[in-house]
Amino acid sequence: MNPVIEKIITMFKQMSMIRKILLGGLVLVVVAGFITMFVWANKMPYKTAYSGLSQEDAAAVVETLKASKTPYRLTGDGTTILVPDAMVYDVRLTMAKEGIPKGSGVGYEIFDKNEFGTTEFVQKINKKRALQGELARTIAAFDAVKDAKVMIVMPKESVFVEETKQPSASILLELVADLQKEEVAAIAHLVASSVQDMTPKLVTIVDTAGRILFEGKSEEEQARIDAESLADAQYQYKVRFEENLTRRIQTMLERIVGTDKAIVRVTSEMDFSKNNMNEEVYDPFERGGEFIRSRKNKAEKILQLDEEVGIPSSVNPITDEDEAGDKNRERVNKSDDTVNYEISRRVRETQKPMAELTRLSVAAVIDGKYDFQTDNNGDTKRVYMPRSAEEMQQFQSIVSRAMGYNEERNDQVSMECFPFASIDDMQGTQEKLTGWRMVQKEYGRLIANLLLVFVLFLFIIRPIIKTVRDIKIKVEQEALPSPEELTLLEKEDKEPSFVEMNANQQRDFFETMTEEQKEEFIQKMTAAERNAYIANMNAQDKARYYAEKDLFKTVNIIKGWLSEVAEEEEG
């Protein structure tokens, strides 16, 4: 086993029970973390296919997924369905083909299946249910609406006009977020426009929290609301006009005197009263003379056939006789002359705008000039210099033209020059931080972070490194041999010198050499090496060596050997 691992096991056995428990818990947490990461990295990713479904729609979707053996998960109390990421769009297309989800209620699909023998009453009920369902689905399309329920009351038809009543509707909303007034009014008008003869004032909208979001208003209440809306619109119009004019004048002045060196304020008075006038003007002399469009003459004259009649009197009055009488007198003289002249006609309709500007006041303040002067001590100071009267007159003329000055409206323009307070002056009133407080403000966070890193290294990282290093050194030292063993190993590992070699070792030593190397080594031998070499030779090698080295000495040695052999034989 690895000595380091053995040392760690030994140290673990020597730990107290509390430290063993803490270490075991840490190991479990680390192992659990790695297992969690492994499972998370290899699990199948799921993505939301549908969310916010009703129970009916969720059940239909789940049933279809089970039939197609598609894996799924349910979250959000069963209102959210998750499917594998790669199958989201396939599942949605499959569900759309089946007409799922249908949404809250039932729509016009109720008429997809016609049942034979359905009565007119049932058809009317189904029509109302379909209309309610379609309106509920449409309202649920709002982002802030989670679900909607629409109830429509259709009055009974009557043959009497005075007994005819208008339909009404009530809407219940389950909201995710609060709706704006405009959105609530839009829902009311949407429902009212979908039902014949229904008006928005007959629509009531409430939410699941019990709040009335919209209810029909009487004429007086509606008039009051319209008046408030009109007043608010008029105020917003006035504010926008003033802000626009202020921005135009101020940007113009700042391009001349510099940024943040001009202040402009505009106040306007407007007349929002309405006055519409229609007039028709007929002027026969507008064309410069008479112009006859048509003329008609008619004359009638009857001649008298009887004798003259005397002067009528009370004694002899004039009497009319009928056509059959002998004396009949008639005088008729008629003349009719009709002339039609062309007369110019102008129709004029005058309508005032939303607002009529009655008075305009502009106040502008600009900064002066500054000159840097050096005093006797050598300090440079900024000295304020007001603008001249000519410059102020020019500025006032420019502002008057930009605002559209009208003397008939009694407009007013005020142009002044004052020294502006600089940012340095405003900051000069604050207490200047020095010393430790300045260091704390400027570098406090940096110092705190450095101290945190230092403490972390000193009390956590450094002890861990030291402990690991000590364990490693101790294990290495224990693995090293003792001084006696080291001396013995050195003796064993040390190669003997040529003098210390025996005959076999010398023979092995020479076998590793070539003949040239062997001859060279023998010639360079010291006296001790040569004696050891000769002493370990056998008789034949020794004779050969001496024979090659010294012939006479070799002959004497052979003679000595022969004499010794002869003596042995005689004895």
> Is the bond preceding 101 in cis, omega lying within 30 degrees of 0?
yes
Residue 80 is encoded by which pair of tokens? Answer: 């959210």
pLDDT at 414: 93
Contact 169, 198 (CB under 8 A): yes
pLDDT of the chain, 571 residues: tens digit per residue: 566 667 677 777 777 788 778 878 877 887 787 677 666 656 677 888 887 777 777 888 888 888 888 888 888 777 788 888 888 888 888 887 777 776 656 665 666 666 666 777 777 888 888 888 888 888 888 888 888 888 888 887 766 666 678 888 999 998 888 888 888 889 999 998 888 888 888 899 999 888 888 887 767 777 887 788 888 888 999 999 999 999 999 999 999 988 889 999 999 999 888 777 777 766 666 555 566 677 787 777 776 655 555 555 555 555 554 444 445 566 667 777 787 766 667 777 777 777 888 999 999 999 988 888 887 777 778 888 889 999 999 999 999 999 999 999 999 999 999 888 765 554 444 555 666 777 777 777 778 778 877 877 777 677 778 877 777 777 666 666 666 666 665 555 556 666 667 777 777 777 777 777 777 777 777 777 777 777 777 666 676 776 666 667 777 777 777 777 777 777 5
CB 278 within 8 A of CB 349: yes
Instruction: Count the Cβ atoms, other than its own, within 10 Å of residue 484.
Output: 8
Q: Give 528's contacts (C-beta < 8 A, 6+ positions apart).
A: 499
Rounded Cα distance, 206 and 202, in Å: 13
Predicted TM-score (pTM) of this structure: 0.41
3-state secondary structure of 441: helix
Residues in contact with 522: Cβ distance below 8 Å, sequence separation at least 6, in sequence order: 530, 533
One DSSP character per residue, 528-571 reads HHHHHHHHT--HHHHHHHHHHH-HHHHHHHHHHHHHHHHHHHH-
For the record, the structure tokens of 528 come out as 């001790």
Q: What is the pLDDT of residue 323?
A: 47
Distance, in Å, from the CA atom of 418 to the CA atom of 415, rounded to the nearest integer, reads: 10
DSSP for 394-451, written as a single string: HHHHHHHHHHT--GGGT-EEEEEE-PPPPHHHHHHTSPPP-HHHHHHHHHHHHHHHHH
| Structural contact between residues 107 and 133, judged by C-beta atoms closer than 8 angstroms | yes
N-to-C CA span, the chain: 74
Report pLDDT for 236.
92
Residue showing tokens 């009719």: 336
Rg (CA), the chain: 62
Length reported for the chain? 571
> What type of residue is 178?
D
pLDDT for the residue numbered 75? 84
pLDDT confidence of residue 416: 92
Query: Tell me, what amino acid is at 434?
Result: T
Question: Would you say the C-alpha torsion 13, 18, 23, 24 has a positive or negative sign?
Answer: positive
Farthest CA pair distance, the chain:
247
Burial of 133 (0-12, 13-18, 19+ CB in 10 A): buried
Q: In what order do the strands lie in the sheet with 412-417?
A: 262-271, 356-366, 412-417
